[in-house]
Structure 1
Amino acid sequence: MALPDKTINGVSVKAVLEDFDDDPDGVQRIAERKGKAPEVTIVEPNPEWLEQFQLFNSRITAAFEARDASDEVQQQKESDEASRVTILAINHVGSTSVPGLPAKAVIDIDLVLSENSLSSERFYVPCLEAAGFQFLLREPDWHGHRFFYTDKPMPCNLHVWGPRCPEVERHRIFRNWLLEHCDDRDLYARTKRECADLSKGKGEAVAEYNLRKQGVIREILARAFETLQ
């Protein structure tokens, strides 16, 4: 009899370990970005990044609270469970979430919602737009990923996921590993600088830069994942 798959925070470890390769054909473009995309430039770590995350966190939370207050009576009448979409977590992820790690000056946030289906978008997209985020794309095949962006007061990538999402756990595991292991943190810092220099020299965009460093990210994750086996 096969042993049951281990889980972490309710997510299958097998799903967390599975690599996902970008599929441009799976991207559904919602809108074109307003303004210029951030450049592939690595800067020194900035302690204000944590404060900026907290600002975005507060802004998102306030937008959902305002919706709940204004729509309370209507929501009580609705039978659609999606009308009760709530925030499960707002996580600061990516390099700006690791003190001492150089990064692109862009805050990355994982917003985990109780529901992230096509039908539920009408309940949470207005909240995020009210918080200043532009809805740019969805990737249904990548754990239902939705991508929002703002550049005020600084660039911020907002990734929206549903509950028990493997990618959310991957981001959390990677961040925590770098927080605790200075050797891999230094390795990742060197890789980021090298890949950014190469991408800038070739006039590449962020997507190409991310692809260049993917091998080292997977190498570091492999070491982190050994603790999950």
Structure 2
Amino acid sequence: MTGAVKSVNAQQGTFTPPDRGSPPVTAGGASRSNCVVGPMSIAGLIPASGEGRTVEASPALFVYVPKTSATEAEFVLKDEEENDIARMTLPLPSQAGIVKVNLSESEAMPDLEVGQDYHWYLAAICNPQNRLDDVFAEGWLQRTSASATLPNPGEISPSLAAVDRYLEANLWHDALAALVELRQSNPNDTTVTAKWEEVLSEAGLDSIAEAPLVFEKEIAAKNAK
């Protein structure tokens, strides 16, 4: 989130993920809290398997955030042994919708290593004095080597053909990022909308397929202050 991301001290007032022995989170890699308004909870836009792949060193992640009284969230990136790699905070929108977490916008976030598994969390800070009240989404992330037969996400204009090729190669995050760009540049294109709904439906995310992309409007408003 441009101009709004900041690094945080991982030792003070930070999110602590639940132990492996804790009850499982709800569908979509999410938890619930009293600071969430409505029937839906925060949820990562991730495949049904829980892990998304990318060829990008600093990919963008997308998370559905319901209407909430929380104004900030903490993003946490851990290795497969649950050791902290980096943390950052970002503002939450005033309305329900899909937010973008761009790892390249924080100096605290290192480039992802090829072949490594990462566990990420986005925790809405419901009560800064008691972080046990956080409501969070989580998912797994792996960077994989780019194939010579695949389009490089950073070097081409997004297209539905590119989206299909990313999906065929199991590059979820690259496919989703391309689809988001297509939605932004072609908001009235029914073919793009249908593809978006198809991809989210196949991932079990039907309930948020019609959610708006709120990050652009919110960031512009905050930067204008």
TM range (shorter): under 0.3
Q: TM-score, normalised by structure 2?
A: 0.28
Of the two, which has the highest radius of gyration?
Answer: 1
User: More helix per residue: 1 or 2?
Assistant: 1
User: More strand per residue: 1 or 2?
Assistant: 2
